[in-house]
Amino acid sequence: MGSIVGKKAPSFKAGAVTNGGTIVSDFSLDQYKGKQAVVFFFYPKDFTFVCPTELHAFQERLQDFHDRNVAVVACSTDTEESHWGWLQMAKEQGGIKGITYPIVADTTKAISDAYGVLAGEYEYDENGHLTANGPMIAYRGLFLIDKSGTVQHAIINNFPLGRNVEEALRMVDALQFFEENGEVCPANWSKGKDGMKADHAGVASYLASH
C-alpha cells in the first residue's frame, strides 16, 4: 500500500487500556480532532524486550508532549487483557507499570493493516482455511497526526530497531513551527533554529485548510 502521509488518519474504534489500568471498549483517535495533535505509535508485542524500553521512554517524556498539546497513544495486536496484565508488572521485572497513556488493542489487526505496519500477509487456502505468511504483528510504526486528523509524519522500523523519542518531539516542534510561522524546516532543524520561507502551493493549501 502507499504512504498515508498527507492523508486523513484511518479511523477506528477498538478496545484499549487507559490511565494505566482502565479497560475501555470503544477507544478512538477521533476524540482528539480539533483539540490535540497525536503521536500514534505501534509496537510488536507485549511481554517482550525492546518494546518496554520504548513505552517507558515515551512515558518519561510524556509531559513534554502534553506541554505541546500533543496526545501519545500506543497500539499493538495484543488484547486489552494482555495490555492490562503487562501494566501490572514492575519495570524491573520487564513490565510497563506506570504507563498512563492509552494502549490500543488491535486484536483484529485491522488498525495495523490500515496504517501499513502489519508484518505478514494472509490468505485463504483451497479448503477455506486462513493461512498467514509472517508473524501478523505490527512493525514499529509512528505517525504524527495534526489537529485536523491529517498524517504529517510517519516512520516505520523493523522489529530490532527501537525508536528515538527525541526525534518524535523534534517532528512535533517542526510541525508546530510550520503551523505558527508558515516557514518550512530544513535538514537537521531543531527548536530555536531559523526556518525557510517557501513559495509553494502545498504550503498555501495547508495553511488555508487549518
DSSP tally for the chain: helices H, then strands E:
6, 9
Question: CA dist 153 to 99, 102, 106, Å?
Answer: 24, 20, 21
CA max distance for the chain: 62
Can you read off the three cell numbers belonging to residue 160? 530490532
Helices (H), the chain: 50-60, 62-67, 80-87, 110-114, 165-181, 201-208
- Count the neighbouring beta carbons within 10 Å of the beta carbon of residue 96: 23
Q: At 44, phi and psi to the nearest 5? A: -65, -55
Q: Which amino acid is at 56?
A: H
Amino acid at 117: V
Q: Catalytic residue numbers?
A: 51
Amino acid at 106: D
The three cell numbers locating residue 82: 494482555
Candidates 115, 152, 114; CA nearest to 37 is 152
